[in-house]
Amino acid sequence: MKNTAKPAITRRDFLNGVALGVAAGSGLSPLELLAQSGGQVVSSGGSYPPALQGLRGSHVGSFETGHAMRDGQSWTTSDAGDGQYDLVVVGGGISGLAAAYFYRKQNGPQSQILILDNHDDFGGHAKRNEFRYGDRMYLVNGGTLNVEAPSQYSTIAAGLLWELGIDR
């Protein structure tokens, strides 16, 4: 059964309720803190809202291969199968998903599209990232700059929201 009820919280209320980067005063940038924490994601269970929704940003398992490549590790390639694709998109964030959407819109639903991403969920880095350094939890928005102001979106971006039925 499809739930057609409107959410009980508006986009503005949600965004106003989300704390943004609090790394000031630590002397380290949020990325430096994340690197020093080993990418540890906060998980306190219970009624912690991000845990209930699976909102966790870059999780353990999403960066080890990139770090191994950076550090000079190599490995043999694996069999990618015999799939043939009309489009291969690298990155499952808003740009990659939009590219796939517009490609399929222009070329038809028979288009074979492969989207590659280092995360186990779509959305790219447009999530919040949480990590601990010492006894403090740091929260940083990840790629969501200006998401709260759809009135300033381009005609194409605003049209995409409208086509997808996303409240603007």
Tokens standing for residue 158: 């605003």
How large is the average pLDDT for residues 27-44?
50
**Residue 108 confidence (pLDDT):** 95
Q: Rounded to whole angstroms, how far apart are CA atoms 19 and 50?
A: 12
What pLDDT band is residue 24 in, cutting at 50, 70 and 90?
very low
Pair of tokens at residue 76:
């043999």
**Tens digit of pLDDT for each residue in 49-67?**
666 666 666 667 777 888 8
Over residues 13-38, mean pLDDT: 44
Q: Tell me the pLDDT of the chain averaged across its residues.
A: 71
